[in-house]
Structure 1
């Protein structure tokens, strides 16, 4: 049995302004949609490429509280209804996250009380990778199962095609009886070699040497091992991490598909990566080479590298873009016309509230812009003007002293919380759909072209009891219009009173 463990944390700051804290890169579709059909997000593509692998069990998705409804909705779109969504109380790097998943997976198998229950093999996958050849990926995963069941801890090494300085590397052991190292795989399976060492991101000269050597692979951050074997090695190498995670998992709280562990206990867990905690220290690490057109989507230059649709001048253009004498550039327009003249090797990314202009060779430094935005408490680091909620979405259209205008969409069968505001009143104008409105003791229905006023301090709720989306315009007026001005009385999504 293979349990995919999808690491869906992180904010993808180097892909700002498209990737934001509340809607990070793994939940975004970077491809241009066609024929009115949205392209899958990176997270959805990660799950979809698993189709066809034998013995696949329901996935465990690890994310934080802020992204739980994004995960749930994107799983729903894929019709994956048996996934477990494990909520990290706070980010402690990848080793504790996988340890929580291992403990819960092993416990689930033990609770089955079947003598022939299969040992679960965990397939650990970051949610933000691109793999151009899923068939090769699946072949390598099948080979990884054999290695994991033999007690080995597997990493997948990407066959390097150029001297990349932005990746760590894995070196296979070349001291075996074969000139290229001993292949540990049975005949006909994808190759697997003992790991000689892991190395950090090199400088350009060192990376060129790794490429010429032929025994170094890019470290993909994808792993396979049994839950038991991972816990054994981690107990030997980092016993404190295991004991803290076990204590945090002692009485997990199940909230629908969401699984929560003890936040106060988990906060004391050491922070470490899978590589540092175990893989660099164990004697049982093996690497399976993979040539599957892989990218870790770490920066805008990676998107330019993997994009297939280019102009004659080697540009990648998405959206309403017009170029004059532009070469080797990535230009993306999200909400308006972008015109570029006489540039090359550039990245231009436009969203409704921010524009990035960078040299393609410097896009790794975009995270410095995000750090500055965070220091200035700028909302552009946190969210787009379009914000997703479990009931649908809202988009800020205009704002100024004492007012804000939003476009609100509510999905069929969904409802906002029963709430009130201390500092603002609201006007709702329905564009389409049938809205059920609660305003204090009154409950009434609004349809297209009808409106209502919700005075400051009233208890109110918006519900969609129909099978069609509701669209409405909300005009807020008051002396404070922040999203934290909400007092909740009832909420079907179990949210804290900090978001609408």
Structure 2
């Protein structure tokens, strides 16, 4: 049995301001409209014999992930069974893979072949990918811990490298001689010239039993912490939410450091398919065809005497005059302007914003919830305006607020509203007023989105002034 394990997390700070902590890189739509997470799922379920997919992600991303998967019609047509392990906190790839391994052993047995796929990779050549996985699966069934090495196309300093050792019996794969950290430019050039090095892709393949043994030998502290987590976790629930107390104690360490660099029987399958981890705006810009002056745009633009620029905007028209070699990325609440050569340094902007506790690190103006989305339209002293979209059949929690009152105006669809002791149907162009301290809930009973404008007034309008009394999404 081949079980793809999709690891979905990481803020993707180099892709700020589009990537935020509440909407990280796997959920960013690429120029073709699909997200990296959707593409990873399609790539996984296209492999022969795949019937189950296990996704390891943060519990805050569960509903986003489920929505992304539900939009994949191929998953439905193949009757793919989706399982989830939800992390209470991010603890890097070693604890995540340890949890996936224990889950696979418990549910499918130690002979199950696990294929570890980060959710933020882009691979278009499905045929070559399938062949590489077939090679890796064969090695995994022989007890090897397998990694995939990407043939380097340039002396890249942003990736780790794998040095190949002796060739294995299939004449394709090699025993790993060593893993090397991100090198400087001159060292990277020597690696390329030697023809012995490949980029470390972060994709792996092994049996559950082999990884369990390797964890026990190389990283017993990781395995012990995750085993304690499992002992305190309700494993029969759907989804499985890992126990916060135990998982927080797991070491924050990558699978490379914890296991792959220490284990004995580690192999690399060199591959030549197209691959990118979309690690910067420069990498994402490459997905857009350039015009005759080298400009790449994914929005309405007017460019005058402008060359070799990338321009992206959510909604506004962008004009540029007399500039060269710029990255211009516009969102409703933040604008990035950077030189093309400094794309990797966008993370330093995020680091400074974190020190300021700036809201643009965490959220967009539009925030996703299990029931839909809300967008902050305007706010000031004592008031806030939101546009709220509730999906068909979805429901906000039964809740109340201590410090604010709310006025709901339905502009599209229909809302079934609990307002204190009353339950009322509010239709388009109708409204209801909810005083502070009143229990209330909105449910969309229709088959189309319910859209409403919410006007909040009060002396405190923070999102933490929500007392949930009942919630179908387990947030009480």
TM-score with structure 1 setting the length = 0.91
| Structure 1 counterpart of 2:178 | 197
Q: Distance in 2 between matches of 1:479 and 1:299?
A: 41
| Structure 2 counterpart of 1:106 | 105
Counterpart mapping for 1:379-390 below 5 A: 379-390=359-370
The structure 1 segments of at least 4 consecutive aligned residues displaced by more than 6 Å after TM superposition are none
Partner SS for 2:428: coil
| Structure 1 counterpart of 2:201 | 220
Q: Distance in 2 between matches of 1:293 and 1:314?
A: 22
Q: Distance in 2 between matches of 1:334 and 1:12?
A: 18
| Structure 1 counterpart of 2:322 | 342
| Structure 2 counterpart of 1:359 | 339
| Structure 1 counterpart of 2:38 | 44
| Structure 2 counterpart of 1:260 | 241
| Structure 1 counterpart of 2:250 | 269
Q: Distance in 2 between matches of 1:170 and 1:443?
A: 63
Q: Distance in 2 between matches of 1:208 and 1:321?
A: 38
Q: Is 1:229 the counterpart of 2:210 in the alignment? A: yes
Deviation at 1:285, TM superposition (A): 0.9
Q: Distance in 2 between matches of 1:249 and 1:141?
A: 29
Partner SS for 1:323: strand
| Structure 1 counterpart of 2:154 | 162
Does structure 2 retain, via aligned residues, the 8 Å contact 1:83–1:257? no
Residues 214-243 of structure 1, C-alpha deviations (whole Å, 9 max, x = no match): 111111000000110001011111212212
Q: Distance in 2 between matches of 1:194 and 1:2?
A: 22
Residues 58-82 of structure 1, C-alpha deviations (whole Å, 9 max, x = no match): 1111111221111121122225462
Deviation at 1:290, TM superposition (A): 1.4
Partner SS for 1:49: helix
Partner SS for 1:429: strand
Does structure 2 retain, via aligned residues, the 8 Å contact 1:50–1:138? no
Q: Is 1:438 the counterpart of 2:430 in the alignment? A: no
Of 74-83 and 238-247, the range deviating more from structure 2: 74-83
Q: Is 1:448 the counterpart of 2:434 in the alignment? A: no
Residues 209-268 of structure 1, C-alpha deviations (whole Å, 9 max, x = no match): 111111111110000001100010111112122122112112432586311222212222
Q: Distance in 1 between matches of 2:238 and 2:310?
A: 39
Q: Distance in 2 between matches of 1:308 and 1:370?
A: 25
Q: Distance in 2 between matches of 1:256 and 1:292?
A: 38
Does structure 1 retain, via aligned residues, the 8 Å contact 2:414–2:425? yes
Structure 1 vs Structure 2 CA RMSD: 1.5
Uncovered stretches (5+) of structure 1, i.e. residues with no partner: 33-38, 111-117, 177-181
Classify 1:436/1:256 alpha carbon distance in 2 versus 1 (closer, same or farther; 3 Å).
farther
Q: Distance in 1 between matches of 2:238 and 2:42?
A: 19
Does structure 1 retain, via aligned residues, the 8 Å contact 2:162–2:197? yes
| Structure 2 counterpart of 1:149 | 141
Q: Distance in 1 between matches of 2:102 and 2:208?
A: 7
Residues 256-297 of structure 1, C-alpha deviations (whole Å, 9 max, x = no match): 631122221222222211111111122211111111111111
Q: Is 1:185 the counterpart of 2:177 in the alignment? A: no
Partner SS for 1:336: coil
| Structure 2 counterpart of 1:113 | none
Does structure 1 retain, via aligned residues, the 8 Å contact 2:406–2:435? yes
Q: Distance in 2 between matches of 1:457 and 1:135?
A: 59
Does structure 1 retain, via aligned residues, the 8 Å contact 2:45–2:51? no
Uncovered stretches (5+) of structure 2, i.e. residues with no partner: none
Count of aligned pairs between the two proteins: 471
| Structure 1 counterpart of 2:277 | 296
Deviation at 1:483, TM superposition (A): 0.6
Deviation at 1:341, TM superposition (A): 1.6
Q: Distance in 2 between matches of 1:300 and 1:198?
A: 27
